[in-house]
Structures are given as C-alpha cells and as structure tokens.
C-alpha cells in the first residue's frame, strides 16, 4: 500500500564505460533521492521518453526538477552563444512538457539550477547564456555568495529569513522571468536567484540546496514540497506526513 507521496525526479543522461564496452544511463545524484526519502517522500526517477509523460504525471504527487546541462536556447528563440554548453534535446523536450502539464494539474514542484532555468524557459522567459562570478565550486570561500530573499513571497515564508548564503554552481541565469513567475531572491550583484509561480505550487532556486549540508534550506524546501502534496494526494500521503 502506498503511504508516502511519490516524488518524481528528472534524471540526467550519461555514458558509462565498462571494460567490455559502454552504455547510456539515466541517473540522478543520491543527494536528491536521499533528501526526498528523508523528508517522507517516495523518490521515483522519471525517464525522458515522451511516451511515458502521461503516466508520469498520473503517478506523481510532486516533482523535483534537478540540475544538469544548459537548456538549448532554441527553446527561447535565441541563438547559441559562445559559452553555452552542450544541451540534451530529449531531456529539454520532455521536461518542458512535464513542467507545463504539472503546473496545469497543480502538482507541487521544486526546481533546482537547470530545473530553475528550464521552468523559466517553459513559461516563455529567457536566460542570460553566461554570467561572470557565479560558476564557482563547493569550496565555501570561492563558490558562495549572499542572496536577498524578497518579502511577501512563499520562499520567504518557507525559509523564514531575508538573507541566505548559497553555493553558486551555475554560469547561466534567468534574464526575463516567464509568465506568472515572481522573482523571490537576488544575488548581491543583482542576478535572479529564485522564482516562484504566482498561482501554482512551484518554488524554483538557482543554487544547489541539496549540496549544502551545513544549511537547513534543503530540508525546509522539501518540507514545503511534501506538505503541499497533502493538498492533492490521498489520505495515505497525509497520514505519512502528519505521522512522521
């Protein structure tokens, strides 16, 4: 019997080379699956095969859109700039359809890094194809910066603070927010670091909270995501959240 809300996670594609040959994989970092499981959800990896889209939407109670490759600028009508990395056409197409449909259905969604940029593109916004000073690493001195969290937003309510120190592992950023997206945080140099949907349960962050082990933000965002599923999921999901 299902007791946990099912949280669909978008995966990346990778080649893995064995001594006897190579294969193509769909994968996801364990920080995502472990975090969702620890928050009371049932993490399920979604494939990018378009024939699975309807069933994926019918199965999940929530979504986490994960990090990964640059979204192809063709999806926002721009040419490919010099610094834009290789894109994954299958993943782009699947996830743009997935997030549009999920928003229509009111499926709670948390979007991270590439996922944050992809949501913006899916809603008609566009991206800065390269920004300076944000493509850091996970060394605190080099890769972190402050963000200001905007008053009157769900993000501010969920995180209950007006500033945060976040990692910065991106080289693109939201330039023009998509339809119905509200800017919820900016870096001190003015870039958009988070958005949320004005009417639907969607939080979207540019940084990687799942990699900040000394910060409660990952748990707080997942707590929001799981609690949102009780609005749409059955009694089993509700009991598992309240009882945990």
Residue 114 found at the interface with Mn ion (CB under 5 A):
no
Task: Output the smallest distance, CB 168 to Mn ion, in A.
Answer: 3
Of 33 and 168, the one with the shorter C-beta distance to Mn ion is 168
CA distance linking residue 135 with residue 83, whole number of Å: 12
**Cα atoms in the Cβ-side hemisphere of radius 13 Å centred on 50:** 7
Q: With CB under 5 A as the contact rule, which of the stretches 16-24, 148-156, 167-175, 214-222 interacts with Mn ion?
A: 167-175
- Member of 4, 75, 126, 134 binding Mn ion (CB under 5 A): 134
Task: Output the smallest distance, CB 175 to Mn ion, in A.
Answer: 14
List, in sequence order, the alpha helices (H) in the chain. 30-38, 53-59, 89-105, 114-122, 140-143, 154-159, 217-229, 235-242
CA distance linking residue 171 with residue 70, whole number of Å: 9
State the catalytic residues: 113, 208, 210
Residue 195, beta-bridge partner list: 183, 204
Q: With CB under 5 A as the contact rule, which of the stretches 43-51, 59-67, 118-126, 131-139 interacts with Mn ion?
A: 131-139
Structure tokens at 168: 């910065």
- Member of 84, 168, 184, 229 binding Mn ion (CB under 5 A): 168
Number of residues binding to Mn ion, judged by CB under 5 A:
2
Task: Output the smallest distance, CB 62 to Mn ion, in A.
Answer: 25
CA distance linking residue 127 with residue 78, whole number of Å: 9
Q: Using the 8-state DSSP alphabet, how is residue 55 labeled?
A: H
Q: With CB under 5 A as the contact rule, which of the stretches 110-118, 130-138, 150-158, 229-237 interacts with Mn ion?
A: 130-138
**Residues 13 to 42: which contact Mn ion by CB under 5 A?**
none
Q: What residues make contact with Mn ion under the rule CB under 5 A? A: 134, 168
């Amino acid at each position: 019997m299902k007791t946990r809300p099912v949280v669909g996670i978008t995966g990346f594609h990778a080649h893995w080379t064995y001594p006897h040959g190579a294969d193509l994989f769909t994968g996801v970092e364990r920080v995502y699956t472990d975090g969702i499981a620890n928050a009371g959800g049932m993490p399920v990896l979604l494939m990018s095969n378009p024939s699975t889209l309807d069933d994926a939407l019918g199965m999940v109670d929530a979504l986490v859109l994960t990090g990964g490759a640059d979204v192809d600028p063709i999806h926002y009508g721009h040419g490919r700039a010099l610094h834009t990395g290789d894109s994954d056409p299958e993943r782009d197409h699947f996830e743009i359809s997935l997030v549009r449909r999920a928003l229509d259905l009111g499926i709670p969604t948390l979007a991270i890094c590439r996922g944050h940029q992809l949501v913006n593109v899916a809603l008609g916004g566009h991206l800065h194809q390269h920004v300076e000073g944000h493509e850091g690493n996970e060394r605190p001195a080099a890769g972190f910066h402050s963000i200001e969290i905007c008053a009157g937003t769900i993000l501010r309510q969920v995180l209950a603070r007006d500033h945060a120190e976040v990692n910065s592992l991106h080289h693109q950023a939201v330039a023009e927010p998509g339809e119905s997206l509200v800017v919820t945080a900016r870096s001190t140099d003015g870039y958009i670091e988070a958005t949320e949907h004005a009417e639907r349960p969607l939080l979207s962050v540019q940084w990687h909270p799942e990699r900040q082990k000394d910060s409660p933000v990952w748990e707080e965002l997942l707590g929001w995501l799981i609690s949102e599923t009780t609005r749409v999921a059955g009694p089993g999901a509700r009991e598992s959240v309240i009882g945990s």
